[in-house]
């Protein structure tokens, strides 16, 4: 075939395949058979092999690329990916509508607001970028500001158009949506794992997240992920959100067909009622309804409060409850020696997950609910929340149930446990208890610490048992061969784990300090310490990251309690905790040994700041407690820091405000006792905006 003919045929094949893909995955209306699709696909593969110059990156044959080396690069979102406020009842939806109407200056006689109701898809939020008509980058939401570049994996998701179906309104376009695993694909995956005798996945959402964040695009391709898009970033001359969804459809994006434009809040409520049962019949999981003001100029006027838009909210379906049997109560020992009772129940499917374990918090909670081993219990799970045992079904008792009590000695090391006056927690006081060691190492490698992807409990347990890892620095001396010798770790996973260990050698200083697990030093304190060190120790010209990190480590190890209490955000209890850590012969050199093993602080430090903070909360210390519908705990704390404030974890006379949500307990009582002003979520939001 002449080259020009080949080029024309390749273009034709690509168009046919792209269209077939869109018809199948997006429009759910296939026009050609699978065999026909395969035939065209093979013809294109052969043609591209014979004429490599015809190969373009967005050819349908190029969905599956080579495995990704190292970690995923981070991506800063031009427009942050926000979260949504929540509503749990019809009245809370009416409150939302009232806030919207007030914000738009509408009176009682003005017409109802037009809203768009969408199903809230329980998957993984992603951002897709197009240049011209081509898909160029896909990223995860991450913390909302920075996500991970997972383009190679997302290219394999057939519902994501690699080529737009028509010219877009701008040369650069960003579209957001939710990737998910259809129920059928999830069930098929678990059936296959079962046949292979492998452990099963608990739920579709975590499997989706894991699939998008693993390193081999061929694996992503095999998992049959799908997508619904729900947001076009930027107005692009359109007047309403509904119009932007229509545009997305025309461009070839999958938009959920159950989207409905309604007039006024009562129609919103009717939509939530309609879907609370009907959603169970859908081929994908949903955890609520997203309600958005349709007019884009109204959205603009309403704006944002902190990290959530005022023009949208998420209605959450009521937590699903089921009954099951409490088979056994087991005690886990954490990093600080705290003993936590955990319920093992007969596995049940609830809230999209198979639940086997549920936390029981502490012994007081077990007594208050009068839970006995052998009881039939009511279990509930809502969204992201850890499954909870709500109550025992007393009528179902037959007398064989047994009352349970905390053990008197640590189940791991046998040391007699202690419970301090007025504390609900029972602790193992032995600092060398192996459970505390594993807990400490997991904290070190976990999300708030060095974030070593893939280094979880099962692997850490083996590393500790085989004495390959005794302390954090040992992790950085592991090699691929050693990792491969662990149970359940093949060559490929060992290489991936090794790559994530390598990638975690450089972290912001605050993360490194937090990872050490110094008593009373949490994320905020670690950032405060890092900011202090960055300000105290200017970098010398040409000084290596390692050399500077060593100076910072020396400075921290040698700081006196008086010096530490002079640091912004650090009180006496914390300062003493730090001093004790660096006085103990077992821990005093932990940080230095990490540096010897090749760990160093990133320069310039993205977390620490040498300049004084700015914002409406400068110089203020706040404590967050209870559950806030619109923020997770860490989002609220992040918002406090972003506003220049200090997010502390316990209430004292120095606390300026307590932000109290639902189910606030002892911290609220303490704040009331000390006369600390208490803010509800709305008051907190207005302070963040600097308007009060």
x/- contact string, 301-320, with ligand IVH (CB under 6 A)? --------x--x-x------
CA-to-CA distance for 155 and 178, rounded, in angstroms?
14
x/- contact string, 401-440, with ligand IVH (CB under 6 A)? ----------------------------------------
CA-to-CA distance for 237 and 400, rounded, in angstroms?
70
x/- contact string, 223-262, with ligand IVH (CB under 6 A)? -------xx-------------------------------
Closest to ligand IVH by CB, 81 vs 469, is 81
Closest to ligand IVH by CB, 145 vs 462, is 145
Peptide bond preceding 604 in cis form (omega within 30 of 0): yes
CA-to-CA distance for 366 and 372, rounded, in angstroms?
8
Are 332 and 340 in contact by the 8 Å Cβ rule? The answer is yes
Closest to ligand IVH by CB, 145 vs 340, is 145
Q: How many residues touch ligand IVH (CB under 6 A)? A: 15
CA-to-CA distance for 309 and 134, rounded, in angstroms?
30
**What are phi and psi for residue 202, nearest 5 degrees?**
-80, -40
Give the H/E segment covering residue 648.
Answer: strand 646-648
Among 93, 265, 290, 410, binds ligand IVH (CB under 6 A): 290
CA-to-CA distance for 315 and 292, rounded, in angstroms?
11
> In the bound complex, what is the minimum distance in angstroms from residue 255's beta carbon to ligand IVH?
10
Tell me: does residue 7 bind ligand IVH (CB under 6 A). no
- Residues in 178-217 that interact with ligand IVH by CB under 6 A: 178
Closest to ligand IVH by CB, 255 vs 570, is 255
CA-to-CA distance for 451 and 443, rounded, in angstroms?
9
> In the bound complex, what is the minimum distance in angstroms from residue 22's beta carbon to ligand IVH?
20
- Residues in 90-149 that interact with ligand IVH by CB under 6 A: 118, 120-121, 125, 141
Burial 549-559 (b: 16+ CB within 10 A, else e): bbbbbeebbeb
x/- contact string, 515-554, with ligand IVH (CB under 6 A)? ----------------------------------------
CA-to-CA distance for 618 and 627, rounded, in angstroms?
24
Task: Collect all residues with Cβ–Cβ distance below 8 Å to 415 and sequence separation of at least 6.
Answer: 409, 428, 429, 430, 433
Q: Could you please report the per-residue DSSP string of 204-245?
A: HHHHHHHHHTSS-HHHHHHT--EEEEEEESS-TT-SBHHHHH
Residue nearest to ligand IVH (CB): 125
Count CB-CB contacts under 10 A for residue 184. Answer: 11
| DSSP assigned state of 198 | P
Closest to ligand IVH by CB, 241 vs 372, is 241
Give the H/E segment covering residue 573.
Answer: helix 572-583
SS3 180: strand
Closest to ligand IVH by CB, 120 vs 667, is 120
**What are phi and psi for residue 379, nearest 5 degrees?**
-115, 140
Closest to ligand IVH by CB, 178 vs 216, is 178
> In the bound complex, what is the minimum distance in angstroms from residue 157's beta carbon to ligand IVH?
16
> Alpha helices of 127-203 — where are they, by DSSP H?
151-154, 183-195
Chain-centre distance of CA 322, in angstroms?
26
Candidate segments 52-60, 78-86, 441-449, 487-495, binder of ligand IVH by CB under 6 A: 78-86
CA-to-CA distance for 60 and 168, rounded, in angstroms?
20
Candidate segments 81-89, 338-346, 417-425, 598-606, binder of ligand IVH by CB under 6 A: 81-89
Cα R_g (the chain), whole angstroms: 27
CA-to-CA distance for 496 and 485, rounded, in angstroms?
14
**What are phi and psi for residue 25, nearest 5 degrees?**
-90, -30
Determine whether 120 is an active site residue.
yes
CA-to-CA distance for 637 and 75, rounded, in angstroms?
22
Task: Collect all residues with Cβ–Cβ distance below 8 Å to 16 and sequence separation of at least 6.
Answer: 40
Among 6, 7, 27, 82, binds ligand IVH (CB under 6 A): 82
Among 83, 240, 380, 436, binds ligand IVH (CB under 6 A): 83
> In the bound complex, what is the minimum distance in angstroms from residue 26's beta carbon to ligand IVH?
16
Count CB-CB contacts under 10 A for residue 608. Answer: 22
- Residues in 651-680 that interact with ligand IVH by CB under 6 A: none
SS3 554: helix
Question: Residue 409 forms beta bridges with which residues?
Answer: 416
CA 280-284-288 angle, to 5 degrees, is 65
Identify the CA nearest to 688 among candidates 625, 628, 637.
637
**Which of 120, 215, 316, 667 is labelled catalytic?**
120
> In the bound complex, what is the minimum distance in angstroms from residue 303's beta carbon to ligand IVH?
11
Tell me: does residue 84 bind ligand IVH (CB under 6 A). yes
Closest to ligand IVH by CB, 175 vs 648, is 175
Closest to ligand IVH by CB, 87 vs 438, is 87
Give the H/E segment covering residue 320.
Answer: strand 320-333
Closest to ligand IVH by CB, 225 vs 486, is 225
> In the bound complex, what is the minimum distance in angstroms from residue 307's beta carbon to ligand IVH?
9
Closest to ligand IVH by CB, 231 vs 436, is 231
Closest to ligand IVH by CB, 228 vs 548, is 228
Tell me: does residue 40 bind ligand IVH (CB under 6 A). no
Are 17 and 24 in contact by the 8 Å Cβ rule? The answer is no
> In the bound complex, what is the minimum distance in angstroms from residue 308's beta carbon to ligand IVH?
7
End-to-end CA distance of the chain: 74
CA-to-CA distance for 209 and 212, rounded, in angstroms?
5
**Residues engaged in binding ligand IVH (CB under 6 A):** 82-84, 118, 120-121, 125, 141, 178, 230-231, 290, 309, 312, 314
- Give the catalytic positions in this structure: 120
């Amino acid at each position: 075939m002449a080259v020009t003919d080949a080029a024309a045929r390749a273009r034709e094949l690509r168009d046919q395949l792209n269209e077939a893909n869109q018809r199948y995955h997006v429009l759910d209306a296939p026009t050609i058979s699978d065999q026909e699709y395969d035939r065209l696909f093979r013809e294109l593969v052969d043609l591209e092999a014979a004429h490599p110059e015809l190969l373009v990156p967005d050819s349908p044959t190029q969905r599956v690329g080579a495995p990704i080396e190292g970690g995923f690069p981070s991506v800063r979102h031009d427009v942050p990916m926000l979260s949504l406020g929540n509503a749990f009842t019809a009245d809370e939806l009416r409150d939302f509508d009232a806030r919207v109407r007030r914000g738009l200056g509408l009176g009682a006689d003005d017409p109802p607001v037009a809203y768009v109701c969408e199903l809230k898809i329980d998957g993984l939020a992603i951002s897709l970028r197009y240049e011209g008509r081509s898909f160029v980058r896909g990223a995860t939401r991450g913390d909302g500001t920075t996500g991970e570049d997972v383009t190679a994996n997302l290219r394999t998701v057939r519902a994501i158009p690699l080529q737009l179906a028509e010219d877009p309104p701008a040369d650069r376009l960003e579209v957001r949506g939710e990737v998910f695993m259809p129920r059928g694909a999830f069930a098929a995956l678990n059936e296959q794992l079962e046949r292979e005798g492998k452990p099963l996945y608990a739920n579709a959402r975590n499997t989706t997240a894991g699939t998008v964040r693993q390193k081999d695009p061929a694996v992503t391709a095999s998992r049959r992920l799908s997508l619904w898009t729900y947001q076009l970033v930027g107005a692009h001359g359109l007047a309403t959100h509904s119009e932007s969804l229509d545009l997305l459809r025309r461009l070839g994006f999958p938009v959920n067909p159950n989207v409905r434009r309604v007039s006024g809040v009562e129609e919103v409520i009717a939509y939530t009622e309609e879907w609370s049962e009907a959603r169970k019949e859908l081929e994908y999981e949903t955890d609520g309804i997203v309600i958005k003001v349709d007019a884009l100029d109204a959205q603009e006027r309403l704006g944002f409060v902190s990290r959530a838009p005022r023009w949208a909210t998420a209605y959450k379906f009521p937590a699903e409850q089921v009954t099951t049997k409490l088979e056994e109560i087991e005690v886990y020992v954490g990093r600080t020696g705290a003993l936590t009772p955990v319920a093992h129940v007969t596995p049940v499917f609830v809230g999209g997950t198979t639940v086997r374990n549920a936390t029981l918090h502490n012994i007081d909670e077990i007594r208050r609910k009068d839970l006995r081993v052998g009881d039939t219990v009511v279990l509930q799970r809502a969204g992201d929340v850890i499954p909870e045992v709500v109550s025992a079904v007393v009528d179902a008792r037959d007398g064989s149930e047994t009352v349970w009590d905390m053990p008197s000695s640590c189940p791991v090391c046998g040391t007699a446990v202690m419970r301090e006056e007025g504390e609900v927690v029972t602790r193992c006081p032995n600092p060398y208890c192996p459970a505390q060691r594993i807990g400490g190492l997991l904290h070190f490698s976990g999300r708030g610490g060095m974030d070593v992807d893939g280094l979880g409990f099962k692997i850490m347990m083996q590393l500790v048992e085989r004495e390959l890892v005794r302390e954090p620095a040992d992790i950085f001396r592991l090699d691929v061969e050693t990792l491969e010798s662990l149970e359940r770790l093949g060559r490929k996973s060992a290489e991936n784990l090794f790559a994530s260990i390598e990638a975690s050698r450089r972290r912001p200083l605050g993360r490194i300090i937090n990872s050490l697990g110094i008593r009373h030093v949490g994320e905020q304190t670690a950032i405060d310490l890092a900011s202090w060190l960055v300000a105290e120790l200017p970098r010398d010209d040409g000084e290596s990251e390692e050399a500077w990190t060593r100076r910072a480590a020396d400075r921290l190890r040698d700081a006196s309690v008086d010096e530490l209490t002079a640091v912004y955000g650090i009180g006496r209890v914390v300062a003493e905790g730090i001093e004790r850590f660096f006085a103990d012969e077992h821990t005093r050199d932990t940080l230095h040994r990490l540096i010897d093993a090749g760990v160093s602080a990133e320069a310039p430090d993205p977390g620490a700041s040498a300049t004084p903070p700015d914002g409406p909360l400068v110089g203020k210390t706040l404590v967050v407690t209870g559950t806030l519908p619109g923020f997770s705990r860490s989002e609220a704390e992040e918002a406090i820091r972003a506003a220049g404030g200090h997010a502390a974890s316990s209430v004292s006379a120095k606390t300026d405000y307590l932000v109290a949500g639902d189910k606030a307990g002892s911290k609220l009582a303490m704040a009331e006792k000390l006369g600390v002003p208490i803010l509800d979520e709305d008051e907190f939001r207005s302070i963040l905006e600097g308007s009060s």
